[in-house]
Structure 1
Amino acid sequence: MQHHESPRTDPQRDQKSLVTVVGSINADIVLRVPLHPLPGETVIATSMDVHPGGKGANQAVAAARLGAAVAFVGAVGTDAYADLAISGLGEAGADVAGVVAVPGPTGQAFVTVDDRTGENSIVVVPGANARVDRNLVKRQHGLLERAAVVVIQGEIPPEAVVAASSGSARLVLNLAPVIPLDKEVIRRADPLVVNEHEARLALAIFERDAKRFDTDESIVEALLAEGIPSVVVTLGAAGAIFSSGGAPLRVPAPTVTPVDTTGAGDAFVGALSARLAAGESLEAAVKFAVRVGAFAVTRRGAQPSYPGPDDVLPEGAE
């Protein structure tokens, strides 16, 4: 396995509030279409672009562009997509010393974006992300131990999630997609971040029937009742709902005209994690993250759509 060189970082900044992301790195092949094809239908794309992506890398880039000190743990392949896939992390200033190259293809995501609504459909080929195992994570023990916040998603194998969640850092677990995990691992999340669909699948892990809960508030309360310290459910254009034990609170999203929703959820998680690592409350972090997510849908692509420190965010509940 080959390690990638890390960009220059500020040691003083790194010691304060490091966000370590353990997750997936992809090359996003983005096809814009007049409308999503139905089964058996062929449509002609209006454009094709290739960007760095992957839920893990997206979240790391979002946090780094907002000024957080970020380190990344993951894997790319040895194909032509590897350098492109990791390029966004380096450009954002993330530490990529924890990224290794493994034989075979880099992860790829095939994204179709509806030109009318900006809504996307995604098919992911895991590639090197499937090789992010317990041993790979344990070799980056230092990056995990120094972190104020560790961020994990569901695009890497469960054994890697278990290994990355076992330290003392605050764990932001974005169970996307929902993968089979032991209940005790999910109970370490503070917060568990899921969308409406994923929240119901997460309840199923705790052997709860999601059909019994007909509101977002009741689902948040049911997850909290299973021993999860805090829960954030993202609601797309409607914003988010969260609780760390009290009555769930809703945070409406700013009203924007969507261009491309790809990676907006990752922008939310990255912004949330950056603010939590800086010591903000969950409420303040969610209010900020909702605005960052709204900003991201107004631009094309995932990582290219994320705001930097000088960008003006749409006004929200903050």
Structure 2
Amino acid sequence: MSSPVTTTHERSKPKIAVLGSINMDLVIRCDQLPRPGETVSARSMSEVPGGKGANQAVAAARCGGAVRMIGCVGDDGFGQKLLNNLLNESIDCSAVLTAQACESGLAIVSVENSGENAIIVIPGANARLSAEDIQRAESAFADCDVLMVQLETPQPTVLAGIQAAKRAGVKVILDPAPAATLSDELFDVDLICPNESEATAIVGGRLESIEDAAEIAKRLHAKGPAAVAITLAARGTMLYDGATIELIPSIKVDAVDTTAAGDAFAGAVAVRWAATGSLRQAIQWANLAGALAASRAGAQPSLPARQQIDSASS
């Protein structure tokens, strides 16, 4: 893999590292998502930089964080576009590798009028990012306040990142998406923030009420994370830290596209938690970020800036 491009990692801001996927999203807009066996006509198709890792990196940067991306792109036509997009957001790409003779990650995102979406991900170069790559890049974690990880890179790679961050005394936030069976070691994090379907995929059961959310948060906490935050869309976020359980409300918006709402939430939590030390305050602020993202079209284009989130809170 070739050496990446670097930018200055700002020291005066909360320092956030993001280990995760970097994709090009092919966004298809239609009136209604097709059912199995059904063909529907699309209104439009566009190329938008994405990937849960890159989305969360951009979200954190726009929220005021000094962000370092750890990931892998291919040496195809999309790879340099994806790198340039991150650099344009002032994200440090010194730990982004380029895999030779490999395509970049790709996601096919179908969005219907209600804002609901269905996504198929082709991992591409993201699957090439190995635990050994993370071990070689361990210095990338040393000066950070928070590491954010997701599940669009191989689980051994994610685990290597969590362990490196722990050795450096860095807080770790796990967004367990896409939903998957997790090894026990992956729960050794400071915060896990699934949505409803991801939470039930991990511990089972149904999540139909606020009481269900509280019970599932407790069951998730028993697996090992220091705190659990289950995002419940317009209802807010259920937070449990082992002592206190609380539903932290959000604001109501007209949903246009929920693709990056969870990524906006995660990026905002990381930055505000690093800045204030208060997880509850961070989640209050992040709920606003997620709601604002859901009210706009696109993934990265929908991610709000710090000033917009502050305005929504006033």
Same-fold call, TM cutoff 0.5: yes
For structure 1, list consecutive stretches of 5 or more residues without a partner in the other structure: 204-208
Distance 1:177 1:6, change over 3 A: same
1:101 aligns with one of 84, 98, 101: 98
1:145-181 deviation line (CA, Å, top 9, x unaligned) = 2211111001110110110001321110111123343
1:109-124 equivalence runs, <5 A: 109-115=107-113, 117-124=114-121
Higher mean C-alpha deviation, range 286-295 or range 235-244: 235-244
Distance 1:31 1:314, change over 3 A: farther
Match of 1:24 in 2: 21
Cα pair 1:144 1:150 within 8 Å, conserved: yes
Q: Which amino acid aligns with 2:103?
A: P
Whole-Å separation in 2 of the counterparts to 1:190 and 1:100: 27
Q: Residue 88 of structure 1: CA displacement?
A: 3.0
Cα pair 1:153 1:176 within 8 Å, conserved: yes
2:222 is the counterpart of 1:210: no
Cα RMSD (Å)? 1.9
1:52 aligns with one of 29, 39, 49: 49
Whole-Å separation in 2 of the counterparts to 1:225 and 1:290: 24
2:76 is the counterpart of 1:79: yes
2:149 is the counterpart of 1:169: no
Question: Residue 276 of structure 2: SS of its match in structure 1?
Answer: coil
Cα pair 1:158 1:180 within 8 Å, conserved: no
Match of 1:131 in 2: 128
Distance 1:312 1:278, change over 3 A: closer
1:306 aligns with one of 283, 297, 303: 303
Higher mean C-alpha deviation, range 269-278 or range 56-65: 269-278
Higher mean C-alpha deviation, range 55-64 or range 37-46: 37-46
Q: Which amino acid aligns with 1:184?
A: E
Whole-Å separation in 2 of the counterparts to 1:237 and 1:3: 43
Question: Residue 311 of structure 1: SS of its match in structure 2?
Answer: helix
2:39 is the counterpart of 1:2: no
1:68 aligns with one of 59, 65, 70: 65
Q: Residue 9 of structure 1: CA displacement?
A: 3.9
Distance 1:96 1:46, change over 3 A: same
Match of 1:206 in 2: none
Q: Which amino acid aligns with 1:100?
A: L
Cα pair 1:251 1:287 within 8 Å, conserved: yes
Distance 1:227 1:100, change over 3 A: closer
Whole-Å separation in 1 of the counterparts to 2:309 and 2:197: 31
* TM-score with structure 2 setting the length: 0.92
Q: Which amino acid aligns with 1:196?
A: E
Q: Residue 212 of structure 1: CA displacement?
A: 11
Q: Which amino acid aligns with 1:171?
A: V
* TM-score with structure 1 setting the length: 0.91
